[in-house]
Structure 1
Amino acid sequence: MSAPVKIYLYDLSNGLAGQLSLPLTGKQIDGIWHTSVVVFGKEIFYGRGICETEPGRSHHGSPLRDIDMGETSIDEQTFEEYLSQMKESYTADKYHLLEFNCNSFTNDCLGFLTGGSLPSYIKDLPSDFLSTPFGAALRPTIDAMFRGRASTGVLTPPPDIGPATTTSPNLELTSSLLMAVAADATSDGSGAPSSSRNYLPTPAPTSPPTPTQSNTLTTPVHIATNPSSFHNELRTHRAVVAFFTSATCGPCRMIEPVFEDLASNKSRANDVAFVKIDLSVGMSNAVGGEYGVRVTPTFILFLDGNKTYEMKGVNGPELRTQVDLLIYQAFPPHPHTATSLPAVEAISLNAILFSQVPNLDTALAKVTGFIDAVSSWSGSTTKEDTKQILAKNIIPYLKARGSSAPPNISFEPWKSATISLAINLSAGELFPVADMWRVALLDAAVCGWIATKLGPESPIVVLLSKAEGAPRNYTLTLLRMISNAFGNEVIARELLLSSRSSITTVLVAALLHEDPTVRTAAASLAFNMVAHLQRLRVEKVRGNAEGNDVDENEDWDVEMTSGLLEAIEREKAAEEIVHRMTASLALLIRLSPSLEQLTLLLEVLQARRILKEKLERGGCGEAGVVKQEVRKLIGEVAEKLCP
Structure 2
Amino acid sequence: MAPVKLYIYDLSNGLAKQLSAQLTGRQIDGIWHTSIVVEFTPGHAQEVFYGQGINTTLPGRSHHGQPLQIVDLGDTAIDEETWQEYLEEMRDHYTADKYHLLDFNCNSFTNDCAGFLTGGSIPDFVKDLPTDFLSTPFGAALRPTIDNMYRRPAPGASAAPPPPNQPIAASLLQAVAAQAQRSSSALNPVPLAATESLAAPMHPSTNSASFRTLLRSHRAVVAFFTDQQGCPPCRVIAPVFEQLAAEKGIRAGSGGRGAAFTKIDLRVGAGGTLASEWGVRATPTFMFFLDGTKVSELKGVDPGELRTQTDLLLFQAYPPHPHVSLSLPAVKALSLAPILFTQVPVLDTVFAKLASSIDVAPSSPTTMQAKEVLRGQVVPYLKARFPPTADGAKPSSPPSATAALLVPWAAATATLVGALAPDALFPLVDMWRLAVLDPAAVTWLAAVPGAGPVRALVRIARDALAQPTQDKGTRNYVLTTLRLLANAFGAAALARGLLSGPGSDGEVLGTLVPALLHTDGAVRTAAASLAFNAAASVQRARVAGGGGLGGVALGAANSASDADAAAAADEEWQVELASALVEALERETGEEVVHRLVAALACLLRYAPPDGQVGPLVEVLGARAVVLGKLGIASVQKKEVRKLLEEVGSMCPPA
Bin for the TM-score computed over the shorter chain: 0.7 to 0.9
Structure exhibiting the larger radius of gyration computed from Cα positions: 1
Residue of structure 1 equivalent to 2:608? 592
Residue of structure 1 equivalent to 2:493? 490
What are the residue-to-residue correspondences of 1:115-134 with 2, within 5 Å?
115-133=119-137
Q: Tell me, what secondary structure is at the counterpart of 1:557?
A: helix
Q: Tell me, what secondary structure is at the counterpart of 1:465?
A: helix
For residue 386 of structure 2, what is the amino acid of its counterpart? G
What are the residue-to-residue correspondences of 1:428-439 with 2, within 5 Å?
430-439=425-434
Deviation of 1:133 after TM superposition, in Å, equals: 4.9
Any gaps of 5 or more consecutive residues in structure 2?
Answer: 40-44, 252-256, 388-394, 547-553
| Higher mean C-alpha deviation, range 531-540 or range 495-504 | 495-504
What are the residue-to-residue correspondences of 1:186-197 with 2, within 5 Å?
186=181, 188=183, 193-194=188-189
Residue of structure 1 aligned with 2:583, choices 545, 566, 569: 566
In structure 2, distance between residues paired with 1:543 and 1:628: 27
Q: Tell me, what secondary structure is at the counterpart of 2:560?
A: helix
Q: Does structure 1 conserve the Cα–Cα contact (< 8 Å) formed by 2:34 and 2:107?
A: yes
Deviation of 1:628 after TM superposition, in Å, equals: 3.5
Q: Tell me, what secondary structure is at the counterpart of 2:222?
A: strand
Q: Does structure 1 residue 458 correspond to structure 2 residue 452?
A: yes
Residue of structure 1 aligned with 2:46, choices 38, 42, 47: 42
For residue 484 of structure 1, what is the amino acid of its counterpart? N
What are the residue-to-residue correspondences of 1:235-634 with 2, within 5 Å?
235-243=216-224, 253=234, 257=238, 259-267=241-249, 271-277=258-264, 293=279, 295=281, 299-303=286-290, 305-311=291-297, 313-314=299-300, 316=302, 318-337=305-324, 339-348=326-335, 349-353=337-341, 355=343, 357=345, 359-371=350-362, 382-390=366-374, 392-394=376-378, 397-398=381-382, 402-403=386-387, 410-423=405-418, 427=422, 430-443=425-438, 446-453=441-448, 455-456=449-450, 458-466=452-460, 467-468=462-463, 469-470=466-467, 472=470, 473=474, 474-498=477-501, 499=504, 501-541=506-546, 542=554, 544=556, 545-546=559-560, 548=562, 549-550=564-565, 551-552=567-568, 553-572=570-589, 574-594=590-610, 598-616=614-632, 619=633, 623-634=634-645
Deviation of 1:111 after TM superposition, in Å, equals: 2.7
For residue 582 of structure 1, what is the amino acid of its counterpart? V
In structure 1, distance between residues paired with 2:605 and 2:190: 55
For residue 441 of structure 1, what is the amino acid of its counterpart? V
CA shift digits 1:345-396 (9 cap, x unpaired): 4433232316363743123323443445xxxx9xxx8444445445555456
Deviation of 1:458 after TM superposition, in Å, equals: 0.4
In structure 1, distance between residues paired with 2:189 and 2:309: 48
Q: Tell me, what secondary structure is at the counterpart of 1:325?
A: helix
Deviation of 1:307 after TM superposition, in Å, equals: 0.5
CA 1:362–1:54: 2 relative to 1, 3 Å: same
In structure 1, distance between residues paired with 2:203 and 2:597: 46
Deviation of 1:104 after TM superposition, in Å, equals: 1.0
* Alignment TM-score, normalising by the size of structure 2: 0.77
CA shift digits 1:294-346 (9 cap, x unpaired): 7555644332x331414274363554432221112223444434544333344
Q: Tell me, what secondary structure is at the counterpart of 1:487?
A: coil
Residue of structure 2 equivalent to 1:160? 160
Q: Does structure 2 conserve the Cα–Cα contact (< 8 Å) formed by 1:367 and 1:433?
A: no
Q: Does structure 1 conserve the Cα–Cα contact (< 8 Å) formed by 2:623 and 2:652?
A: no
Residue of structure 2 aligned with 1:233, choices 208, 214, 235: 214
| Higher mean C-alpha deviation, range 488-497 or range 502-511 | 488-497
Q: Does structure 2 conserve the Cα–Cα contact (< 8 Å) formed by 1:141 and 1:158?
A: no
For residue 579 of structure 2, what is the amino acid of its counterpart? S
| Higher mean C-alpha deviation, range 42-51 or range 394-403 | 394-403
In structure 1, distance between residues paired with 2:505 and 2:605: 18
CA 1:629–1:3: 2 relative to 1, 3 Å: closer
In structure 1, distance between residues paired with 2:386 and 2:229: 62
CA shift digits 1:522-559 (9 cap, x unpaired): 21211221123233333223364536542223343333
Deviation of 1:567 after TM superposition, in Å, equals: 1.2
CA shift digits 1:61-113 (9 cap, x unpaired): 52453524255243423322332343454344544332222211111222333
Deviation of 1:639 after TM superposition, in Å, equals: 4.5
Deviation of 1:599 after TM superposition, in Å, equals: 4.5
Q: Does structure 2 conserve the Cα–Cα contact (< 8 Å) formed by 1:145 and 1:157?
A: no
Residue of structure 1 equivalent to 2:87? 83
For residue 365 of structure 1, what is the amino acid of its counterpart? S
Q: Tell me, what secondary structure is at the counterpart of 2:545?
A: helix
Q: Does structure 2 conserve the Cα–Cα contact (< 8 Å) formed by 1:590 and 1:641?
A: no
Q: Tell me, what secondary structure is at the counterpart of 2:454?
A: helix
| Higher mean C-alpha deviation, range 475-484 or range 178-187 | 178-187
| Higher mean C-alpha deviation, range 123-132 or range 523-532 | 123-132
Q: Does structure 1 conserve the Cα–Cα contact (< 8 Å) formed by 2:148 and 2:160?
A: no
In structure 1, distance between residues paired with 2:10 and 2:598: 53
Q: Does structure 2 conserve the Cα–Cα contact (< 8 Å) formed by 1:435 and 1:477?
A: yes
Deviation of 1:259 after TM superposition, in Å, equals: 4.5
For residue 366 of structure 1, what is the amino acid of its counterpart? S
In structure 2, distance between residues paired with 1:3 and 1:395: 66
In structure 1, distance between residues paired with 2:157 and 2:243: 25
CA 1:192–1:533: 2 relative to 1, 3 Å: same
Q: Does structure 2 conserve the Cα–Cα contact (< 8 Å) formed by 1:531 and 1:587?
A: yes
CA shift digits 1:578-600 (9 cap, x unpaired): 22212222222223235875444
Q: Tell me, what secondary structure is at the counterpart of 1:480?
A: helix
Q: Does structure 2 conserve the Cα–Cα contact (< 8 Å) formed by 1:246 and 1:252?
A: no
In structure 1, distance between residues paired with 2:486 and 2:144: 28
CA 1:443–1:275: 2 relative to 1, 3 Å: closer
Q: Tell me, what secondary structure is at the counterpart of 1:128?
A: helix
Q: Does structure 1 conserve the Cα–Cα contact (< 8 Å) formed by 2:357 and 2:420?
A: no
* Alignment TM-score, normalising by the size of structure 1: 0.78
For residue 336 of structure 1, what is the amino acid of its counterpart? H
**How many pairs does the alignment contain?**
601
